[in-house]
Structure 1
Amino acid sequence: EIHVKDESLAKKIAGWAKSGRNFEQLAKKYSTDKGYKDKGGYVGYKEKTHRGTVSREAFNVGPNSVGGPVKYRNNWVVFKTGALTEKEYKAYEEAQSQVQSKLAAVKNKERREQWEKELEEEYPLVINQKVWDTI
């Protein structure tokens, strides 16, 4: 992806990329997003719903194509798609440790929130306005 603030510049960049200029070099030269600039515009594989309008438009132009400009947040985005691949799912055995870690994190968060609620009920917060005003 190449992010720029100006729509007319985005249109020029899209034209250059569509006519065969090196997308990576264009990204390094023009992108205002440092992350994409440093990676030569490379984003990696994304799902159709991952990045809103940009992802939807990327799927519309098809694999191995240049698309845009598309308005995304405060920028105009020109993008290059790669090969379309099927989503891969891990077998349970492969994902088991990740699932267990995620579940433990969720349970810990729930316990912490419950504990905080109990503390708030047992020790209510009272602000002494006179003291507060002197600070």
Structure 2
Amino acid sequence: MKYPELEKVAITNNTCLTLRVRGHLIKPRLANQIIHTYSVQRLRTEIHAAYPDGSVIVEPLPSEEVENESQDTTQSIADLGVSHAVEKRLIKAGINTIEALTAMTAQDVIDIKGIAECSLQEIEEALTKMNLSLQEAGNE
């Protein structure tokens, strides 16, 4: 008997809750958490039933897109996984790639209108998860 292949999906959690989806913890305000499922449509239906307001989004990913995924710093700022508000402020300030962000110091980030200490901490945590960091002051 041949079993169906697992499909890869990206789940975006726009809620303030940590969710458990098929054994995976999806942290609050996390974009594009990749999980595997046998049926994207069934998962999408289950998520939509639980979160009909669209606060949790399931998007199928082509397998080659996931296989080519890397910790490349030229990734879009959307790949950082910060809250939508922080992402929007970075983009508005012209910071569109992770490479551009990692070239900045913590003070440079704080100087962006609408970015406070808590947003800076969120950015630093997201970069740490990617084994990246902001520049040290004086190392620019």
Class of the TM-score when normalised by the shorter of the 2 chains: under 0.3
Which one has a larger percent strand, Structure 1 or Structure 2?
2
Which structure's CA Rg is the greater one? 1
| TM-score when normalising by structure 1 | 0.27
